A and B are shown apart, each in its own frame.
Chain A
Amino acid sequence: MSLRIVVCVKYVPDATGDRHFAEDLTTDRDAVDGLLSELDEYAVEQALQIAENADDAEVTVLTVGPEDASDALRKALSMGADKGVHVEDDDLHGTDAIGTSLVIAKAIEKTGYDLVICGMASTDGTMGVLPALLAERLGVPQVTLLSEVSVEDGKITGRRDGDSATEQLEAALPAVASVTDQSGEARYPSFKGIMAAKKKPVESLDLDDLDIEAEEVGLDGAWTKVEDATARPARTAGTVVKDEGEGGKQLAEFLAGQKFI
Chain B
Amino acid sequence: MAEVLVYVDHVDGAVRKPTLELLTLARRIGEPVAVHLGAGADTAAATLAEYGAVKVLAADAPEFADYLVVPKVDALQAACDAASADGSPAAVLLPSSAEGKEIAARLALRLGSGIITDAVDLEAGDEGPVATQSVFAAAFTTKSRVSKGTPVITVKPNSAAPEAAPAAGTVEQLPVSFGELATGTKVVSRKERESTGRPELTEAAIVVSGGRGVGGAENFNVVEALADSLGAAVGASRAAVDAGWYPHSSQVGQTGKTVSPQLYVAAGISGAIQHRAGMQTSKTIVAVNKDAEAPIFDLVDYGVVGDLFEVVPQLTEEVTARKG
Contact B115 A98 (CB under 8 A): yes
Contact A164 B184 (CB under 8 A): no
Contact B315 A141 (CB under 8 A): no
Contact A141 B184 (CB under 8 A): yes
Contact residue among B137, B146, B274 (Cβ-Cβ distance under 8 Å from A223): B146
Query: When A162-B99, A167-B187 are in contact, do A252 and B322 touch as well, CB less than 8 Å?
Result: yes
A261–B73 alpha-carbon span in the complex (Å): 44
Contact B105 A247 (CB under 8 A): no
Contact A128 B101 (CB under 8 A): yes
Contact B147 A223 (CB under 8 A): yes
At the interface, yes or no: A226 with Cβ under 8 Å from chain B?
Answer: yes
At the interface, yes or no: B186 with Cβ under 8 Å from chain A?
Answer: yes
Q: Which stretch (A65-73, A118-126, A204-212) binds chain B?
A: A118-126
**CB-contacts of B134-184 with A (<8 A):** 134-149, 181, 184
Contact A258 B263 (CB under 8 A): yes
**CB-contacts of A234-261 with B (<8 A):** 235, 238-243, 245-252, 254-256, 258, 260-261
**Closest chain B CB from A32 CB (angstroms):** 10
Contact B314 A241 (CB under 8 A): no
Report B260-284 CB contacts with A as 1/0, cut-off 8 Å: 0011000000000110010010001
Report A182-204 CB contacts with B as 1/0, cut-off 8 Å: 10000000000000000000000
At the interface, yes or no: A144 with Cβ under 8 Å from chain B?
Answer: yes
Contact A169 B147 (CB under 8 A): no
Query: When A232-B139, A238-B302 are in contact, do A142 and B184 touch as well, CB less than 8 Å?
Result: yes
**Closest chain A CB from B265 CB (angstroms):** 9
Categorize the interface residue count of chain B.
35 or more
Contact B317 A248 (CB under 8 A): yes
A243–B308 alpha-carbon span in the complex (Å): 10
**CB-contacts of A144-172 with B (<8 A):** 144-145, 147, 157, 160-172
Q: How many A-B residue contacts, CB cutoff 8 Å? A: 262
Query: When A144-B102, A169-B185, A170-B186 are in contact, do A223 and B149 touch as well, CB less than 8 Å?
Result: yes
Contact B136 A19 (CB under 8 A): yes
Contact A132 B105 (CB under 8 A): yes
Report B1-21 CB contacts with A as 1/0, cut-off 8 Å: 000000000010000000000
At the interface, yes or no: B27 with Cβ under 8 Å from chain A?
Answer: no
Question: Which residues of the other chain, B, contact A147 by a CB distance below 8 angstroms?
Answer: 248
Question: Which residues of the other chain, B, contact A52 by a CB distance below 8 angstroms?
Answer: none
Report A63-101 CB contacts with B as 1/0, cut-off 8 Å: 000000000000000000000000000000000111001
A211–B6 alpha-carbon span in the complex (Å): 37
Closest to B139 in A: A232
Question: Which residues of the other chain, A, contact B56 by a CB distance below 8 angstroms?
Answer: none
A182–B244 alpha-carbon span in the complex (Å): 11
**Closest chain B CB from A225 CB (angstroms):** 5
Contact B98 A129 (CB under 8 A): no
**Closest chain A CB from B233 CB (angstroms):** 14
Contact residue among A144, A232, A251 (Cβ-Cβ distance under 8 Å from B134): A232
A201–B142 alpha-carbon span in the complex (Å): 40
Contact residue among A248, A250, A260 (Cβ-Cβ distance under 8 Å from B310): A248
**Closest chain A CB from B7 CB (angstroms):** 13
Closest to A13 in B: B136
**CB-contacts of B96-153 with A (<8 A):** 97-99, 101-106, 108-110, 113-118, 130, 134-149
Can you list 16 contacts pairing A with B, beta carbon distance less than 8 Å? A142-B69, A167-B188, A170-B185, A172-B184, A223-B108, A224-B115, A227-B144, A231-B140, A235-B300, A247-B311, A248-B313, A249-B314, A251-B311, A252-B322, A254-B301, A255-B286
Binding site for B on A (CB under 8 A): 15-16, 19-21, 25, 39, 96-98, 101, 120-121, 123-124, 126-133, 135-137, 139-145, 147, 157, 160-172, 175, 180-182, 222-232, 235, 238-243, 245-252, 254-256, 258, 260-261
Q: Please name the 3 residue pairs, one residue from A and one from B, whose CB atoms are nearest each other, closest first.
A: A248-B314, A243-B306, A223-B114
